[in-house]
Chain A
Amino acid sequence: MEERPARTRTTRTAGGLVSTAWRVSVDPHRCIGSGICAGIAPGHFRLVDGLSTPPAETVDPADPVVDAAESCPVEAILVRDAADQRLIAPES
């Protein structure tokens, strides 16, 4: 399934900063392997031995990555700006 490119998320930054790259991490101790992230953003998350693993740690900003982080039932996914570590998702 085609993922949509980022529509609005690049503007979701304080002080008008625009992210050019994000860093994605999954906490393996929290992950329950629900497969929600891999279903929402198959290019950015896949299950390895039952746990979500991002194939690439640094990614171009894209809506499905934020959708996946916001939809994780155990908040195991963190998305940060690759340059200054600002938290992009999930919202607290």
Chain B
Amino acid sequence: MTDSQQVTARPYPFAAPDRLNLDPHYARLRRDEPLIRVQLPFGEEAWLATRYEDVRVVLGDARFSRAAGVGRDQPRTMPRQPDLGMLGMDPPDHTRLRRLVAKAFTARRVELLRTRAQEIADGLVDEMVEAGPPADLVERFATPLPIQVICELLGVPFADRDSFHRWSEAIVSTTSLSPQQVQEYLESLWGYIGELVAIRRREPIDDLLGAMVRARDENEDRLTEQELVQLAAGLLAAGHETTVTQIPNFVYVLLENPSELARLRSDPALIPSAVEELMRYVPLGAASAFPRYATEDIELGGVLVRAGEPVLPAVGSANRDATVFTDPDRLDLGRETNPHVGFGHGVHHCLGAQLARMELQVAIGTLVGRLPGLRLAVPEPEVPWKSGLLVRGPLALPVAW
């Protein structure tokens, strides 16, 4: 069986991201070479898994470890080796931290926030309508909605958003910031969270951050002070950077698929399945990231992955696998069977998935329902795109209605 000694690594990513298009290499790899050797801009060589079935194994099987990558020169698109907190751990360490906050993000708890999220979304559309078209959807709607929701959930003052939103880029930056800026922003973010923690030590506050502080102060074995601050900073940053980017991505895809958008307008009951389909269809990640290290020799996709070798899961490719999704490159907002891995899979399945789903449903439902003439306010080629980040999306999305 083929192993890493017998194949030459290819440079990866194959090309710079082109809007939200999935690189065509993936379709050929899924068909002919489901696991290949790749060399990323930084770190050691890796395997790249492109089929749905294999990606699910890499993400879900306990023999593939994130913790085993600590201390290794991990394959990555950024110069620095980030300390990823929970995302760098395996159970039971990972579970110890995740359990502390998982309760706040269950479907049941998130549903209680829906009315408030709807109120925020309606208020933002009111302001856009009042000012009149055109408007930058990123700035006027997609950014403030998730930020306000995570602020209220966590207990972070919305008034400080300009500062912490700027610092949060450090969490998703690959090359957009220099390593010095990344460090500086991270320290600013941690310092800021540290102050909010100190306030809760002086007077208990009933919010998620307050609950996290109590959890630590009641039993210091649960998490260290550094874990507390980094976990909260991670929730704040990761808790909005992704949704802030996905809302304009979803709107862009809908505007590029007018018949599907018309279908959604005529049948708003499709909103939940539309959000799942858009999660499948949009390759949010600019490139595969967060390699898993094999803890024993494992046969996968026709090759032998040796113990200690890293494997990158190509989530965007898995979501286009024709063995799982009928007509995978077609956007079908009514798709019935949709076990996509857009939120990942396994122990690191997105902690905020239920919150993100709710916010995306509210966002798309509100925009489609209240702005029936929604359209791009500039020719499509003039939409500017982010670069140098782990995620891809429009930098600005000028719209009219």
Contacts and interface: CB of A to CB of B under 8 A. Distances in A.
B290 interface: no
Given A35-B345, A36-B346, A73-B353, A67 B95 contact: yes
Contacts of B92: 4, 40, 63-64, 67
A55 interface: no
Nearest to B110: A73
Interface in B282-340: 295, 339
Interface stretch (B18-26, B58-66, B390-398): B58-66
A91 B351 CA distance: 18
B145 to A, nearest CB: 21
A1 B346 contact: no
A29 to B, nearest CB: 12
B349 A70 contact: no
Contacts of A38: 60, 346
Contacts of A36: 346-347, 349
Interface string A65-92: 0010011111100000000000000110
Interface in A1-56: 1, 4, 30, 33-36, 38-40, 42, 47, 50
B99 interface: yes
Contacts, number: 70
A88 to B, nearest CB: 15
- By size class, the interface of chain A is 20 to 34
Given A73-B106, A75-B107, A67 B91 contact: yes
Interface in B52-110: 56, 59-63, 90-92, 95, 98-99, 102-103, 105-108
A35 B95 contact: no
Contacts of A63: 92
B354 interface: yes
Interface string B343-360: 101110101011000000
A33 to B, nearest CB: 6
A72 B354 CA distance: 11
A39 B62 contact: yes
Interface centre among B108, B346, B354 (most CB of A within 10 A): B346
A35 B99 CA distance: 15
A4 B350 CA distance: 25
Contacts of A91: 103
B62 A34 contact: no
A40 B347 CA distance: 6
A1 B62 contact: yes
A71 B102 contact: yes
Contacts of B107: 30, 73-75
Interface in B219-265: none
The winner among B56, B59, B102, B295 for most chain A CB atoms within 10 A is B102
Contacts of A4: 92
A25 B98 CA distance: 22
B292 to A, nearest CB: 11
B99 A39 contact: no
B360 to A, nearest CB: 15
The residue among A42, A67, A73 with the most chain B CB atoms within 10 A of its own CB is A73
B106 A75 contact: yes
Nearest to A43: B62
A40 B106 CA distance: 17
Contacts of B98: 71
A70 to B, nearest CB: 5
A35 B59 contact: yes
A34 B349 contact: yes
A72 B106 CA distance: 8
Nearest to A33: B339
Contact of A1 (B60, B90, B99): B90
Closest 6 CB pairs of A and B: A39-B347, A34-B349, A1-B62, A35-B60, A39-B346, A35-B346
Interface of A: 1, 4, 30, 33-36, 38-40, 42, 47, 50, 63-64, 67, 70-75, 90-91
Given A35-B346, A67-B99, 9 more contacts: A30-B107, A35-B347, A40-B95, A47-B60, A64-B92, A67-B95, A73-B106, A73-B107, A74-B354
18 contacts: A1-B90, A34-B346, A35-B59, A35-B346, A35-B347, A35-B349, A38-B60, A38-B346, A40-B95, A50-B339, A70-B103, A71-B95, A71-B102, A73-B102, A73-B106, A74-B107, A75-B108, A91-B103
Interface of B: 56, 59-63, 90-92, 95, 98-99, 102-103, 105-108, 295, 339, 343, 345-347, 349, 351, 353-354
